[in-house]
Amino acid sequence: MEPPFYIYILASKPRGALYIGVTNNLVRRVWEHREGVAQSHTKRYWIKQLVYFEAHSTAEAAIVREKKLKRRRRAWKDDLIEAGNRDWRDLYGDIAKP
């Protein structure tokens, strides 16, 4: 059985700049964004708050979902985030528990 794969959305602030990505290690990948490990869009625009994520059983399913999310309009993405995270709270502390 493959490990879970995740799609995730990071935000600079509530209703701020967004980044959508896919990974097989959510804690590590969000940490990399938060620490600015790689030169990227997230580092340039201070996009560091994990505001949404979904688990998928295969890499293919996660990639398909990521592409669908990226094609959606911004208002739809905001509604998706707010359906599960009304206050745009940073969820990183919830997943990165020791």
Alpha-carbon dihedral of residues 19, 20, 24, 29, nearest 10 degrees?
A: 0
Per domain, the residue ranges of the chain are: 5-74+86-95
Mean pLDDT score, 24-46: 92
What local confidence, expressed as pLDDT, does residue 98 receive? 66
Segment 12-39 mean pLDDT: 94
Global confidence as pTM: 0.95
- Look up the CATH architecture of domain 5-74+86-95: 3-Layer(aba) Sandwich (3.40)
* Residue 20 DSSP label: E
pLDDT in tens, 41-78: 899 999 999 999 999 999 999 999 999 999 999 999 99
Residue 3's pLDDT is 78
